[in-house]
Structure 1
Amino acid sequence: MISPVDRQLIALLVDGRFHSGTELAGALGVSRSAVWKHLQGLSELGIEILAVSGKGYRLATPMDLLDSERIFAYLHHRASGLLTGLEVHGLIASTNTYLHELAEQGVPGGLVCLAERQTAGKGRRGRQWVSPFGRNIYLSILWRFQGGPAAIAGLSLALGVATIQALRQLGAHDVGLKWPNDIYWRQRKLGGILIEVSGESDGPCHAVAGLGLNVDMSTKQGEAIDQDWADLVAVLGGSARPDRNRVSGVLLNHWLPVLAEFEQRTLVDYIEDWREVDCMVGKTVDISIGSLAHRGTVAGIDDQGFLLLTDANGELRRFASGEVSFSKS
């Protein structure tokens, strides 16, 4: 957990200006040595702090903290009407896991959870999602469906389309989708979607839809990522640091209607939009399924959302799942 003093200290430093130890101690009502200890604790959270003799302390780069009221201010009437709650956490193991646990307790759908940092954020196939404090978007939504998991097959593809639409509204161009649920910019990963479903096979079920989106991440913070990556700052040309509260609000404006309407509309209504932003068509890729690996040229996706791959023999193959990577040879 982040202590109240830590929260207050972060709030004092988010402007990116230097603050002396004496100034910080006075504002927090603690000693200068206590300020130093709290600053060390923030560093352990991955918050980069500069200390300059005679000037004091400041964040290496300015930071805007998430705020539920500011996010609400960006929501359209349609989206806000679909919400049952919006929580912002400073530190959490995983926004997806948190909402899944609440779902098991009977919490209604429409609950949104965001976090400044995740200690056990999840990517595909159990990978940990790199989650520096206050730099990216870690967002999950709990939604309940009546038709069972089969009725929401392809939901991640529909939410991928919604994500691209939101990013375009924010001014991001050249963004696309890599099957089945990654957001890419110029063959560099910008974000990813993870949907976890639980419930009856042909009855009521719940889904937790999560999004990790890189917004403003330093090279040092991205060292733990094992593939080429990008953040929204780079996509937007580095002219201005995006307001994460606005980014969150715009994403929710696009995500919530998709979740509310998906059982009635299904994947078919999103296929053509997905194909228009498919960043893999014509590319040579490797797809891994367990210990088996396949190589071929991507021919798009079919109407069920399966990946179409033309192999070396010219045979068109369909894949319902698998780990896809751009071929480096």
Structure 2
Amino acid sequence: MPLIDLVLLKARLGELAGRFDVDALDECDSTSSELMRRADRGAPAGSVVVADRQSAGRGRRGRQWLSAPEASLTFSLLWRFTGPLSRLSGLSLAVGVALARGLESLGAQGVGLKWPNDVLLDQDGRQAKLAGVLVELASDRRGTQAIIGIGLNLLPPAEELPFPAAGLSQACYRLPERHAVLAALLCELAETLERFAGDGFGGLKADWQQRHVWQGQQVQLLDEAASPVLGTCLGADDDGALLLETAAGVERILAGDVSLRPAGSTLGGRPA
């Protein structure tokens, strides 16, 4: 039996239970891949696939997302928008805002956001990855569909990783029950995505900037195809692009990984 009981989840969702069509699986290749196949067959907006195990979980830029059933929560949400793809710039940042709000509603403290798609946890000034977001977009006759994949660590990962990682248990006095976590995140996602559909990322930018962990700090932009770029992080613009103040002026960055550059450190290393 999957760890998510749909009857318990429906009770947690309350009045919003009718907004979502949730399916809980023991295992699949990837919740996003599974949901994409269902979307191709006409699955409605609000469809959710949550899985205890993923054999091919995906992260950004082809990275693998590792998860353990008891220690993590991995799910994907299908949402549809009217209009062209260009209207959805900044969507991954908006999703980050929803996740942060949802976790904070459960009592989590120290939650922050990193451009463009990570939720971090402050551990005595050291940022550790708490959750990741992968948004995949496609257009069809009904408009634009977004498959929003989310992986959240409930407990600190036991395996050794190339970057600091944390669990929700470290952000809360007591780890919330997983149905409460999933319900809180889905409710915040519904509210935030509706707001995003009307106002774009510009309507959520202030909330994102408030939680942006590198705001006003020296960072380096790491790109596998280019040398690192150093500058002061000014946050994001209304389209979700990163604003980086460099020696050449303010640059608008549309893709890349941002890594904090501590005083006295050398260039290179892995993004946080």
TM-score, normalized by the shorter chain, greater than 0.5: yes
Which residue pairs with 2:256 in the alignment?
322
Q: How does 1:155-174 map to 2 (within 5 A)?
A: 155-174=91-110
1:266 corresponds to 2:206: no
1:189 aligned to which of 129, 132, 135: 129
Matches of 2:79 and 2:38, distance apart in 1: 11
State the alpha-carbon separation in 2 of the partners of residues 175 and 241 from structure 1.
15
Instruction: Describe how 1:1-329 pairs up with structure 2 within 5 A.
Output: 7=1, 65-77=3-15, 79-83=16-20, 85-186=21-122, 187-200=127-140, 204-218=143-157, 221-223=158-160, 225-236=161-172, 239-292=173-226, 293-311=228-246, 313=247, 315-327=249-261, 329=265
SS at match of 2:116: coil
CA RMSD of aligned residues (A): 1.9
Q: Deviations over 1:86-116 (max 9, x none)?
A: 0111111111111111111222211011111
In the TM superposition, residue 203 of structure 1 has moved relative to its aligned partner by 6.8
Once the 2 structures are TM-superposed, how far is the Cα of residue 260 of structure 1 from its aligned partner?
Answer: 3.6
- Please identify the structure whose Cα radius of gyration is greater: 1
The aligned amino acid for 1:93 is: D
TM-score (norm 1): 0.74
Please list the CA deviations of residues 148-183 of structure 1 after superposition, one character each: whole Å capped at 9, or x if unmatched: 211222111111111111111111111110011110
Partners of 1:289 and 1:252 lie apart in 2 by 33
Deviation for aligned residue 1:217: 3.7
4+ residue runs of structure 1 moved beyond 4 angstroms? Answer: none
> Structure 1 residues 227 and 108 mapped into 2: Cα distance closer, same or farther (>3 Å)?
same
Instruction: Point out the structure with the larger strand share.
Output: 2
TM-score, length-normalised on structure 2? 0.89
Once the two structures are TM-superposed, the CA of residue 230 in structure 1 deviates from its matched residue by 0.6
Residues 1:116 and 1:156: Cα distance change in structure 2 (over 3 Å): same
Q: Give the aligned residue type for 1:175.
A: V
Question: 1-side partners of 2:231 and 2:175: how far apart?
Answer: 39
Contiguous gaps of at least 5 residues in structure 2: 266-272
Q: Secondary structure at the match of 1:71?
A: helix
Name the CA distance, whole Å, in 1 between partners of 2:221 and 2:149.
23
Q: 2: CA distance between counterparts of 1:109 and 1:324?
A: 32
Kindly provide the amino acid, as one letter, of the partner of residue 140 in structure 1.
Answer: S
Task: State the SS of the aligned residue for 1:304.
Answer: coil
Aligned length: 258
Structure showing greater relative contact order (alpha-carbon pairs closer than 8 Å, 6 or more residues apart): 2
